């Protein structure tokens, strides 16, 4: 037998590199290699000569810089809406009985696995001019002009929030459910109101789940392409959209790659920052023991 070493679970099974080989091969071929190639192209797009021209082009263009701002703004707004709607929703799932909680879980899981395009498509129909949303708006304000919710940032934001909300709720709910119920019982039997129990115990103890959900939503939003492209109607230029335009419309692989590298760095920075916060928040003992 090969290396019989203490393992994460204390089981003495031989570790077999062959078992991870297929998965790691796929990751190297389909993930590491493309990223490496994009990095290479961002510097060597000019017939294999090193140059930072692609980065100069990208950073010197108002269009690309605006795309950066739009991407950040859209992602931050999506995250804010997810927290605003998702935390109470997860809380409700924790508070209600089993049957209602299952129904609430189903309401999150079904959209989570419904095709991204189908969801974007239905929002396109709901939000379009003379669609459901604008008819409802007109019946409330008969004098107002017919308005459209698509082809702008508002429509994109609605669609993105709908798509991201399950991704936020699932980890948040998991964290809330894993809080030891005895703590809540103890607090309430000692005279705490339910609100205090929620604010003082449940929320702080599920902060890690909320943070990881928030990170996932923000990072995914940063790279979003489909929803802004369809609901933004060409008016919402996000980074992913600029990458696509640079490839298909301008055939400028260097600029597309430079944008890709910058997007990658942005995502990496957010992940590292989130990890830093998570590690700090997970410090044993907590602030009271300092």
Partner 1 sequence: MNSNFRITRAQEMLIGLVALSLGGVLVLPTLLVIPMSFSSADLLEFPPAHWSVRWWRELSQSVVWVDAIRLSISLAIGTTLIAVPSAFAAAFATVSATKRRANVIHAALVSPLLVPPILIASGLFFIYSRFSLNGTFSGLLIGHVLMALPVAYLILRPAILGFDFEQERAARSLGASRWEATWEIMIPQIAPSVVIAILLAFLTSLDEVIISIFVGSGRATTITKVMFESLRDRIDPIAAVVSTGWTTVVFVVVAVVVLRSGSTEGQVRVASDS
Cβ-based nearer residue to partner 1, 37 or 276: 37
* Cα separation, 119 vs 161, whole angstroms: 11
191 contributes a contact to partner 1 by CB under 8 A: no
What DSSP letter does each residue of 152-187 carry, written as one string?
Answer: SHHHHHHHHHHHHHHHHHHHHHHHHHTS-HHHHHHH
Residue of 72, 188, 203, 207 that binds partner 1 (CB under 8 A): 188
**What's the sign of the alpha-carbon dihedral 86, 88, 89, 91?**
positive
Question: What CA–CA distance (Å, rounded) separates 233 from 123?
Answer: 13
- Please classify residue 25 by burial: count the beta carbons closer than 10 Å to its beta carbon, then call 0-12 exposed, 13-18 middle and 19+ buried: exposed
Site for partner 1 in 116-155 (CB under 8 A): 116-126, 131-132
- Contact between 272 and partner 1 by CB under 8 A: the answer reads no
Please tell me whether residue 37 binds partner 1 under the rule CB under 8 A.
yes
Span from 49-57, 75-83, 145-153, 214-222 in contact with partner 1 (CB under 8 A) = 214-222
Point out which residues pair with 49 in neighbouring strands: 46
Among 87, 150, 157, 256, binds partner 1 (CB under 8 A): 256
Asked whether position 26 contacts partner 1 by CB under 8 A, the answer is: yes
CB of 29 to partner 1, least distance (A): 6
Among positions 217-236, residues that touch partner 1 (CB under 8 A) are: 219, 222-223, 225-226, 229-230
- Contacts of partner 1 in 64-83 (CB under 8 A): none
- DSSP string across 186-212: HHHHTT--HHHHIIIIIHHHTHHHHHH
Among residues 171, 205, 167, which one has the least CA distance to residue 186? Answer: 205
- Tell which one of 46, 73, 109, 137 touches partner 1 (CB under 8 A): 109
To partner 1, the closest distance from the beta carbon of 61 in angstroms equals 18
Count interface residues toward partner 1 (CB under 8 A): 106
Using CB under 8 A as the binding rule, whether residue 113 contacts partner 1 is answered as yes
Out of 80, 85, 154, 278, which residue is the one contacting partner 1 (CB under 8 A)? 85
* Site stretch for partner 1 (CB under 8 A), options 56-64, 76-84, 105-113, 139-147: 105-113
Is residue 243 involved in binding partner 1 (CB under 8 A)? Answer: yes
The radius of gyration computed from the CA coordinates of the chain, to the nearest angstrom, equals: 24
With 0-12 CB in 10 A as exposed, 13-18 as middle and 19+ as buried, what is 8?
exposed
**Which one among 43, 67, 157, 213 touches partner 1, defined by CB under 8 A?**
213
Of the two residues 153 and 226, which places its CB atom closer to partner 1 in the complex? 226
Strand partners, 46: 49
Q: Cβ of residue 289: shortest distance to partner 1, in angstroms?
A: 25
Rounded to the nearest whole angstrom, what is the least distance from the CB of residue 120 to partner 1 in the complex? 7
Which residues, 6+ apart, have CB-to-CB distance to 221 below 8 Å? 74, 75, 78, 79, 160, 164
In the complex, the smallest distance separating the C-beta of residue 290 from partner 1, rounded to whole angstroms, is 28
Pair 156, 235: CB distance under 8 Å: no
**Cβ contacts of 76 within 8 Å, gap of 6 or more:** 218
Q: Which residue number, 83 or 267, has a Cβ lying nearer to partner 1?
A: 267
């Amino acid at each position: 037998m090969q290396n019989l070493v203490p393992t994460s679970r204390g089981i003495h099974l031989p570790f077999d590199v062959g078992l991870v080989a297929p998965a790691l091969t796929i990751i190297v071929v389909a993930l590491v290699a493309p990223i490496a190639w994009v990095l290479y192209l961002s510097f060597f797009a000019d017939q294999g000569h090193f140059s930072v021209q692609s980065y100069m082009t990208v950073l010197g263009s108002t269009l690309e810089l605006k795309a950066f701002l739009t991407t950040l703004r859209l992602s931050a707004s999506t995250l804010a809406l997810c927290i605003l709607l998702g935390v109470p929703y997860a809380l409700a799932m924790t508070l209600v009985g089993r049957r209602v909680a299952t129904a609430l879980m189903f309401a999150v899981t079904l959209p989570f696995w419904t095709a991204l395009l189908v969801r974007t498509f239905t929002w396109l129909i709901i939000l379009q001019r003379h669609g459901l949303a604008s008819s409802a708006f007109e019946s409330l304000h008969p004098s107002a002009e017919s308005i459209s919710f698509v082809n702008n940032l508002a429509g994109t934001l609605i669609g993105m929030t709908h798509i991201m909300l399950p991704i936020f709720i699932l980890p948040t709910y998991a964290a809330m459910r894993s809080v030891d119920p005895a703590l809540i019982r103890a607090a309430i039997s000692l005279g705490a109101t339910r609100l205090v129990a929620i604010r003082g115990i449940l929320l702080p103890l599920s902060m890690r789940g909320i943070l990881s959900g928030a990170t996932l939503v923000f990072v995914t939003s940063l790279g979003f392409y489909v929803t802004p492209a369809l609901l933004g109607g060409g008016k919402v230029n996000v980074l992913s959209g600029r990458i696509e335009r640079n490839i298909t419309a301008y055939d400028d692989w260097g600029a597309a790659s430079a944008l890709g590298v910058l997007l990658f760095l942005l995502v990496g920075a957010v992940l590292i920052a989130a990890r830093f916060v998570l590690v700090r928040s997970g410090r044993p003992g907590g602030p009271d023991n300092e």
